[in-house]
A and B are shown apart, each in its own frame.
Chain A
Amino acid sequence: MRAIDHHAWTNRWRGWHPAEKLLPAGSLLILTLVLPPLTTAPLVLAGMALATVRGAGVPLKALLSVLAAPAAFLLAGVPFLAVSVDFAEGVNLHLSADGLRLALTTTVRALAAMSCLAFLILTTPLTDWITPLRRIGVPAGVIELILLIYRLIFVFFERALTGHQAQTARLGYSRVDRSVRSLGLLVSNLFQRALEQARRLEIGLMARGYTGELRVLAPKRVLSWPRLATGLGLVGLVGAASDLLARGLS
Chain B
Amino acid sequence: MTAPLPLLAARGLEYVYPGGVVALRGLDLNIERGQKLAILGPNGSGKTTLLLHLNGTCQPTRGEIRLDGQPARYDHRALNHWRRRVGLVLQEPDDQLFAATVGQDVSFGPLNLGLSAAETAERVREALESLRISHLADRATHTLSFGQKKRVAIAGVLAMRPEILVLDEPTAGLDSHGVTHLLSALQQLHEAGTTLVFSTHDVELAYAWADEVALFHEGTVLCQGETAAVLGDREALHRARLRPPLLLEVAEALGADQDRVQPTLRSREAVLALLRERLGEPASAMPVETVFPHSRRGPPA
Which residues of A are in contact with B by a Cβ distance under 8 Å? 5-6, 9, 125-127, 147-148, 150-151, 154-155, 197, 200-201, 203-211, 214-217, 219
**Interface hub of B100, B113, B138 (most chain A Cβ within 10 A):** B100
Which residues of B are in contact with A by a Cβ distance under 8 Å? 52, 55, 57, 80, 83-84, 87-88, 90, 92, 94-101, 103-105, 107-109, 111-113, 117, 120-121, 124, 138-143, 153, 156-157, 160
Task: Tell me which residues across on chain A come within 8 A of B88, comparing CB atoms.
Answer: 204, 207
Compute how far the CA of A214 lies from the CA of B121 in the bound complex, rounded to whole angstroms.
Answer: 16
Compute how far the CA of A150 lies from the CA of B100 in the bound complex, rounded to whole angstroms.
Answer: 7
What is the minimal beta-carbon distance from A165 to any residue of chain B, in angstroms?
17
Task: Tell me which residues across on chain A come within 8 A of B103, comparing CB atoms.
Answer: 217, 219
Compute how far the CA of A155 lies from the CA of B142 in the bound complex, rounded to whole angstroms.
Answer: 8
Task: Tell me which residues across on chain B come within 8 A of A208, comparing CB atoms.
Answer: 83, 87, 96, 108-109, 112, 156-157, 160
- Identify the 8 closest CB pairs spanning chains A and B, nearest first: A209-B112, A204-B96, A154-B142, A216-B104, A217-B107, A208-B109, A207-B88, A200-B95
Task: Tell me which residues across on chain B come within 8 A of A5, comparing CB atoms.
Answer: 140, 142
Task: Tell me which residues across on chain B come within 8 A of A147, comparing CB atoms.
Answer: 98-100
13 new A-B contacts at CB < 8 Å, known A5-B142, A203-B57, A208-B157? A6-B143, A147-B100, A148-B98, A151-B99, A206-B57, A207-B83, A209-B80, A210-B108, A214-B99, A216-B105, A216-B108, A217-B104, A217-B111
Task: Tell me which residues across on chain A come within 8 A of B55, comparing CB atoms.
Answer: 207
Given contacts A203-B57, A209-B80, A216-B108, contact A9 B90 (CB under 8 A): no
Closest to B58 in A: A203
Compute how far the CA of A217 lies from the CA of B123 in the bound complex, rounded to whole angstroms.
Answer: 12
Compute how far the CA of A3 lies from the CA of B139 in the bound complex, rounded to whole angstroms.
Answer: 16
Inter-chain contact A214/B95, CB cutoff 8 Å: no
What is the minimal beta-carbon distance from B160 to any residue of chain A, in angstroms?
7
Inter-chain contact B143/A9, CB cutoff 8 Å: yes
> Chain B at the A interface: mostly helix, strand, loop or mixed?
helix
Task: Tell me which residues across on chain B come within 8 A of A201, comparing CB atoms.
Answer: 95-96, 98
Task: Tell me which residues across on chain A come within 8 A of B141, comparing CB atoms.
Answer: 151
Task: Tell me which residues across on chain B come within 8 A of A9, comparing CB atoms.
Answer: 139-140, 143
Closest to B153 in A: A204
Closest to B55 in A: A207
Task: Tell me which residues across on chain A come within 8 A of B121, comparing CB atoms.
Answer: 217
Inter-chain contact B95/A216, CB cutoff 8 Å: no
Q: Which of A126, A127, A210 lies in contact with B112, CB distance below 8 A? A: A210
Q: List 22 A-B contacts (CB under 8 A).
A: A5-B142, A9-B140, A127-B101, A127-B104, A148-B98, A151-B142, A201-B95, A201-B98, A203-B90, A203-B95, A204-B95, A207-B87, A208-B109, A208-B112, A208-B157, A209-B112, A210-B108, A211-B80, A211-B112, A217-B103, A217-B107, A217-B111
Task: Tell me which residues across on chain A come within 8 A of B83, comparing CB atoms.
Answer: 206-209
Task: Tell me which residues across on chain B come within 8 A of A6, comparing CB atoms.
Answer: 143
Inter-chain contact B109/A219, CB cutoff 8 Å: no
What is the minimal beta-carbon distance from A11 to any residue of chain B, in angstroms?
13
Closest to A157 in B: B142
Inter-chain contact B95/A151, CB cutoff 8 Å: no
Given contacts A151-B141, A154-B142, contact A215 B108 (CB under 8 A): yes
Inter-chain contact B104/A219, CB cutoff 8 Å: yes
